[in-house]
Amino acid sequence: MFDIQTIKQRYNIIGNSPQIERAIRVALQVAATDLTVLITGESGVGKENFPKIIHQNSARKHGQYIAVNCGAIPEGTIDSELFGHEKGSFTGATDARKGYFEQSSGGTIFLDEVAELPMSTQVRLLRVLETGEFMRVGSSKMQKTDVRVVAATNVNIPNAIAKGKFREDLYYRLNTVPIYIPPIRERKSDVLLLFKKFSVDFSQKYRMPPIVLSKEAEEKVLNYSFPGNVRQLKNLVEQISIIEQERNITIDVLKKYIPEETITTSLSTLKNIGRTSDVFFERELVFKFLSEMQKDISDLKKKIAELTNTKPANRLEPKQLVLDGDAKENVLISDHYPDDPIEIAEYVEGQEVDFNEKTPIETEILSLQETEKALIKKALSKNNGHRKDAANDLGISERTLYRKLNEYHLEE
């Protein structure tokens, strides 16, 4: 049985929250296998520690460990970097070169920001994962590699798949064992531990007393969402440690370094939470649709009042209406005006009364699904088809919007 505390100390992981301990436990359990692992989480949460835990607690720990930042390598050279090339295969290829997959055979390769790989490279990667085979750039000779692949990304891959930027088959091949690293706002119990650890680290580095937060300042730190996660918190502590002479940090001092969170920031936070669960947004979307329906019914009620030339009331007197030229007819609307807007709509529907335009009044209460479709179309039209902006207007995640587009066959 692995000692979680020992692992934390060895890999400098701070925190006792159940989410972070579960992530460590899954990494340790999968280390003994050769299964492919996909590590997901927002930028700055510390995803880079977990491939090391997997590699160094596996049977491959004596093999090569190579970490590759896929987003930092130009598209024109990524295939050469990963799979190698033959001499003369392109301009500047003066010698044959082994790629990372060849170099790390018998060990582990960590593909950070894997969602940034171009589609052509994704095809090559899929072949390696399925058969262990690859070809160097400029070669027709198939080669084999025995390598354990661990990948990581801060991108919502299902959204990338929907946009045609990531292969669905590659996603399922990489996602054999998923490990989710929670953002700092989901592990509030660890925030002050992290702050104190960074404070001690920087006090030793810069040879000065550690900074200490007042109670009010602690509350401010705990209530801040830290969109940059652990990396942002670490930078915050370092800035304060260097700049402030007073080591007891009050809330007034802290406010200089922590920006006030705006509504935009709060919405961004909610959307990130929605990556792990869209249930909240489904509920919000329904409430939004119901609100729109209520507005439509209210408008309908006002229109009825205008057409009948009467103010809304509980009782209406019989009224004589001009139907067609000189023809007159007494139309008894009702001696009771219904309170329920739906009853109003049901009552007015079918009254063949011509109000100058000689068009029967037709009232239709849309179903919830029809209202959803109408609002989605309206948001897309307003934003010229830009789905991200449309999702923002609707107050839902892009993933929910894509699912709704597919559900209602609204894909272009």
Q: What is the pLDDT of residues 60-116, one digit of tens each?
A: 999 999 999 999 999 889 999 999 999 988 888 889 999 999 999 999 999 999 999
**DSSP single-letter state for residue 58:** S
The backbone torsions φ and ψ at residue 103, rounded to the nearest 5 degrees and listed phi first, read -65, -35
Half-sphere exposure of 1 (CA within 13 A, CB side): 3
Q: Beta strands 108-112 and 143-144: pairing type?
A: unpaired
Q: Residues 6 or more apart from 259 whose CB is under 8 A from it?
A: none
Please list, residue by residue across 33-68, b when 16 or more beta carbons sit within 10 angstroms of its beta carbon and e when fewer do. eeebbbbbbbebbbbebbbbbbbbbbebeebebbbb
- Spatial CB neighbours of 290, under 8 Å, sequence gap ≥ 6: 368
Question: In the prediction, which pLDDT does 88 show?
Answer: 86
Separation in Å, CA 320 to CA 62, 317, 327, 385: 96, 10, 11, 49
pLDDT at 14: 92
Unique residue bearing structure tokens 């990556």: 275
The predicted structure's pLDDT at residue 332:
41
Give pLDDT, residue 368: 63
pTM: 0.63
pLDDT in the model for residue 333:
41
Residue for token pair 């354990």: 148
pLDDT tens per residue, range 336-354: 444 444 444 444 444 444 4
Q: What are the chain's domains?
A: 4-182 (3.40.50.300), 188-265 (1.10.8.60), 286-348 (no CATH)
What's the CA gap between 297 and 3, in Å, rounded? 62
Beta strands in 16-107 (DSSP E): 37-40, 65-69
The answer to whether residues 273 and 400 touch, using CB atoms and an 8 Å cutoff, is no
State how far the Cα of 53 lies from the Cα of 329, in Å rounded to an integer.
87
Q: How far is CA 212 from CA 101, 233, 243, in A?
A: 47, 14, 14
pLDDT in tens, the chain (412 residues): 568 999 999 999 999 999 999 999 999 999 999 999 999 999 999 999 999 999 999 999 999 999 999 999 998 899 999 999 999 888 888 899 999 999 999 999 999 999 999 999 999 999 999 999 999 999 999 999 999 999 999 999 999 999 999 999 999 999 999 999 999 999 999 999 999 999 999 999 999 999 999 999 999 999 999 999 999 999 999 999 999 999 999 999 999 999 876 433 443 444 444 444 344 344 445 545 555 566 667 677 777 777 765 544 444 444 444 444 444 444 444 444 444 444 444 444 444 444 444 444 333 444 567 777 888 888 888 877 888 878 777 878 777 787 788 777 786 5
